[in-house]
Structure 1
Amino acid sequence: MTALNRVPSLMARAGTASALTLAAVGGTIVAPGLSADASAATMATKALRVAASKKGSPYQWGATGPRRFDCSGLTLYSFKKAGKKLPRTAAQQYNRTHHVSADHRKPGDLVFFHYGSSVYHVGIYAGKGKIWHAPRTGEVVKLEKLWTNHVWYGRVS
């Protein structure tokens, strides 16, 4: 088989992989000129992809990347790369988002863990009950199933 004959096969495989990657993070394809909601969805999808690309990065309290993160440092870094500036702490990020119910959450929304009215942890919702987050000292950025329903959701706009 010549190199030219392999190109369509390689392109087909790359296209499939790209579509699967997009589907895995709950991505959507958005055309220019669509509503602000579509723009926000694109930004959230980009932030979700950035967070996923940091899989395995070590947790470090106060770190905002690009190699080490704490929880809010990961969300700050991910959204900054997607074109949106967030405040530094999980509580400040919660106060800056549009709050949504669990029934209306979407991939790319922020997930805020709270005790009473105090927010203490944040991650990025990946869909299917999972989040990307930087858990704690000794851990790494990872995709993990939500382990509690004591969470609030916030949409970055």
Structure 2
Amino acid sequence: MSARTRIPALISRAGTTSVLTAAALAGSTLIPAAAPTAEAATPAGKALRIAASKKGSPYRYGAVGPHRFDCSGLTLYSFKRVGKKLPRTAAAQYNKTRHVSVRSRKAGDLVFFHSGGGVYHVGIYAGKGKIWHSPKPGRTVRKERIWTRSVWYGRVK
């Protein structure tokens, strides 16, 4: 029985029971968008939401939160809150992740900016070519478009 035929059957069987009770019995079939996505339920998805919740927090070199961050401090803080350990610096975080291709990247993966083989910046991939990061002194945590192709992606284990 499909959701379309099951819902009217539930409502008619409910009799004097309210439609809301029937909806509760039907579960998330009435509102498919209310069902959480698998990606959002992962530690990486949760870390992404934590980073986003820090929007507007000021940059401070060496800071690991909860109110000020540098780039790797934001990623370390966000993943620590979901029970994942990361090293302190962007380069060390790159070495600790499972490297993934641009085609395999997912929201919640780390994005490492590099120059001459060295990693100098990190953010959390937000999807659609954007990252959450703490950019530099005088700026705040924000979501921005990735501005270069000189990036590598890593998935926190």
Q: TM-score range by the shorter chain?
A: 0.7 to 0.9
TM superposition shift of 1:82: 1.2
**What's the C-alpha RMSD, in Å, of the aligned pairs?**
2.2
Inter-partner Cα distance in structure 2 for 1:146 and 1:92: 21
Unmatched 5+ stretches in structure 1: 1-7, 9-14, 31-37
Q: What per-residue deviation string (whole Å, max 9, x for no partner) do you get for residues 82-106 of structure 1?
A: 1101000000000000000101100
**Matching residue's letter, 2:66:** P
**Matching residue's letter, 1:141:** V
Q: Kindly, what percent of the aligned residue pairs are identical?
A: 70
Inter-partner Cα distance in structure 2 for 1:154 and 1:57: 24
Q: What per-residue deviation string (whole Å, max 9, x for no partner) do you get for residues 12-38 of structure 1?
A: xxx9xxx68x9xxxx7237xxxxxxx9
Q: Which of 1 and 2 has greater Rg?
A: 2
Q: TM-score if structure 1 supplies the norm length?
A: 0.76
Q: TM-score if structure 2 supplies the norm length?
A: 0.76
Q: Which residue of 2 aligns with 1:83?
A: 83
TM superposition shift of 1:67: 0.1
Q: Displaced runs of 4+ in structure 1, greater than 4 A?
A: none
The equivalent position to 1:29 in structure 2, one of 8, 27, 38, is 38
TM superposition shift of 1:138: 0.1
Inter-partner Cα distance in structure 1 for 2:46 and 2:140: 20
Q: Which residue of 2 aligns with 1:150?
A: 150
**Matching residue's letter, 1:52:** A
Within-5 A mapping of 1:5-154: 28-29=37-38, 42-154=42-154
Inter-partner Cα distance in structure 2 for 1:28 and 1:47: 15
**Matching residue's letter, 1:59:** Y
Inter-partner Cα distance in structure 2 for 1:117 and 1:51: 26
Unmatched 5+ stretches in structure 2: 1-19, 21-27
Q: Which residue of 2 aligns with 1:34?
A: none
Inter-partner Cα distance in structure 2 for 1:118 and 1:155: 18
Give the SS at the match of 1:135. coil
